[in-house]
Amino acid sequence: MRLAIAGKGGTGKTTIAGTLARVLARSAAPRQVLAIDADTNPNLASVLGIAPQQAQAIVGLPRSLMERRTREDGTTHVVFGADPESVLREYGAIGPDAVRLMVMGKVGHGGAG
């Protein structure tokens, strides 16, 4: 199951996403649950039960993971260049019930791309 949860700010997306992740982790084990925080103001960690110190240590994905590739016709495009599984291992945090959390929103800022 690959589920996205959307809606107006403050409606309860994070509360529902985080609690759902924990519920599924218990009922669907050994299937892993990956919770992705795609909000630019990430706070899924606390609803998952990840301690503040651990949550603060989570780093966002660096922009260098995107690579510019050249097509056969000479035009270029930008693609995600890394192996997602190793990115998960490197940047993901593991919380209670073995839910894996990836924080996307904390992507490092810099010049406009």
Partner 1 sequence: MCSAHATVRGFLGELVARADNDRHVIVDMEAGLEHLSRGTGRHLSRLVAVLEPYYRSMETARNVVALSAELGIDDVVVVANKVRDAADRDAIAEFCAAHGMRLVGEVPFDPTLTQAERQGGAPIDLVPGSPAVMAITRLADVLTA
Ligand X SMILES: Nc1ncnc2c1ncn2[C@@H]1O[C@H](COP(=O)(O)OP(=O)(O)O)[C@@H](O)[C@H]1O
Closest C-alpha among 20, 50, 36 to residue 102: 36
Say which entry of ligand X, Mg ion, partner 1, none residue 58 contacts (CB below 5 to 8 A, set by partner kind).
none
Nearest distance in Å: CB 103, ligand X: 14
Residue 100 CB-half CA count within 13 A: 14
Residue 61's Cα: distance from chain center in Å? 9
Binding ligand X (rule: CB under 6 A), the pick from 3, 4, 11, 40 is: 11
Q: Of 2, 3, 9, 64, which one interacts with ligand X (CB under 6 A)?
A: 9
Q: Considering beta carbons, is residue 13 or 106 the nearer one to ligand X? A: 13
